[in-house]
């Protein structure tokens, strides 16, 4: 079981709170990769990354057929946030059994705390020509992280977290 560092937990928050814009990388079951930027991000326990399901299309379809994902920092990189987190994801949508468990993360706990993310952490820092007019959240993607490697120039591929 991995354990996020303090720096990782600080980075894996919404940009408006000093966190990061992240890329969520998924793949279809037959290996068609997909990469999409995400703003609503948080950590849960010591080894889970949470991401709001607001506008997910291909990402959502991929997770439903293949749980293997990678999460990496898109911006800012220059603060030492050179990590790629790899693990297994599920999209905990409304309607999931409330006792659903994903590697120790409970659906009731997750949806109660993060189910109305736009209200809890509104995207005040997002530029007006990018911000969405209305956020409709359908669930929370929970990534159970199993390992992480570096993408820092000169150290690419080195393990920074290992289960």
Tokens of 139: 């669930």
Residue ranges in 16-55 that form contacts with other proteins under rule CB under 8 A: 21, 23, 25-37, 39, 54-55
Among 5, 45, 64, 74, contact with other proteins (rule: CB under 8 A): 74
CA angle 99, 108, 162 (to 5 degrees): 85
Residues 6+ apart with CB under 8 A from 115: 94, 137, 139, 140
128 scored as a contact of other proteins (CB under 8 A): no
127 lies in the binding site for other proteins (CB under 8 A): yes
- C-beta of 30 vs 99, nearer to other proteins: 30
DSSP sequence for 102-153: ETTEEHHHHHHHHTTHHHHS--TTS-TTTS-S-----EEEEEEEEEEEE-ST
Nearer of residues 2 and 54 to other proteins, judged by Cβ: 54
Residues that bind other proteins (CB under 8 A): 21, 23, 25-37, 39, 54-55, 57-58, 62, 66, 68-70, 72, 74-77, 84, 86, 126-127, 129-133, 149, 151, 153-157
């Amino acid at each position: 079981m991995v354990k996020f560092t303090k720096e990782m937990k600080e980075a894996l928050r919404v940009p408006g709170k000093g966190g990061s814009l992240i890329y969520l990388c998924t793949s279809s079951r037959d290996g068609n990769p997909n990469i999409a930027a995400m703003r609503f991000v948080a950590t849960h326990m010591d080894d889970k990354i949470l991401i709001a399901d607001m506008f997910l299309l291909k990402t959502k379809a991929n997770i439903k057929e293949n749980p293997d994902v990678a999460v990496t920092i898109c911006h800012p990189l220059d603060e030492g946030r050179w990590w790629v987190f790899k693990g297994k994801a599920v999209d905990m949508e409304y309607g999931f059994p409330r006792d659903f468990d994903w590697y120790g993360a409970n659906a009731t706990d997750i949806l109660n705390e993060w189910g109305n993310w736009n209200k809890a952490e509104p995207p005040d820092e997002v530029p007006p020509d990018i911000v969405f007019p209305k956020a409709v959240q359908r669930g929370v993607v929970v990534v159970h992280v199993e390992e992480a490697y570096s993408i820092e120039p000169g150290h690419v591929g080195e393990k920074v977290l290992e289960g």
